[in-house]
Amino acid sequence: MSGESELPDRDRRMEAALAAAMAEQKKYEQKRYSRLGRGAEKATAPIGGLLRRFVPPGLLRRALVVADRGAGWTLPVALHDTNDLAACDASALRVQGWAAGTGAASGGAAGWFGGLGMTLDIPATISLAARTVRATGQAYGFEGEGEEELVFRLMVLELATVRGLEGRKESLGKVNQLARELQSPEVRYVLEKGADWVVDKVVDRVARGLGTDLLKRKAAQVVPLAGAAIGAGVNASFQTDVARAARYGFRLRWLMHRQLLPAPEAAPEETE
């Protein structure tokens, strides 16, 4: 009997899952955000610029931190084997489907009420995005509550909202760099002890980017009734972008944690 025929089914499944994961990681690195998000931004950019004046940055900053903390309380216990990459991917895809569906329902309902509905829907959208990131992390076995984990989740969220090829490349570099650093106990200890100032800087930066992105995407909801369909589509698109970024980031950590993939070499030197 040949060695190949004696290869356990579990090993063959893992080999197939790894090949698929590597292909998806590479595909994501070359991808921009969803088409609907880009189309909505072009159509509503003038309104979005006006709306930014009425959404205080401090409000978004507080909403972002509260949403992340609150999301950790709503997650059910993961039932799959987090050492099984295929099972982790399947769980993360279920998170994406649930988030897109829930976001579409929320955006559709809010769109009926025009500008008022959009204003109320923004905190709900941020909360759902935070839960999507945390649930995806849980799918790959990463459920930490430390400040360093919060920074990683925020960087993943930033990756989902960044614009332009250069900005996206920089954001990918930050996620890759932090993913690599979190594998080192020494670096992780330093991050845990001195993360307060890092968290503040990252929260501020992500809140600014998130606010700009959401308002550009959701500006068309200011038109009552007509905004319902737009709100549903934009919310689903946004949550899909968030879920894909989270799947990329946490699968990267899963692979590196098991020494199956080194982090890319290129990474920015500063956190801003």
Band of pLDDT at residue 22, cut at 50, 70 and 90: confident
Dump pLDDT digits (tens) for 205-230. Answer: 888 788 777 777 766 555 555 557 77
Contact (Cβ atoms closer than 8 angstroms) between residue 152 and residue 182: yes
Asked if 234 and 36 count as a contact pair (C-beta separation under 8 A), the reply is: yes
Q: What is the pTM of this model?
A: 0.80
Over range 139-161, report the average pLDDT: 88
Amino acid 126: pLDDT: 87
In this prediction, residue 53 carries a pLDDT of 55
- Give the pLDDT band (50/70/90) at residue 61: confident
Where do we find the tokens 């700009």?
212
Q: How many residues does the chain have?
A: 272
CB within 8 Å of 76: residues ≥ 6 apart? none
Task: Determine the Cα angle at 21 with ends 86 and 140, to 5°.
Answer: 55
Confidence at 249, pLDDT banded by 50, 70, 90: very high
pLDDT in tens, 30-43: 876 555 445 555 55
Instruction: Give the number of C-alpha atoms closer than 13 A to the C-alpha of residue 90, restricted to the C-beta side.
Output: 11
265 close to 155: Cβ distance less than 8 angstroms: no
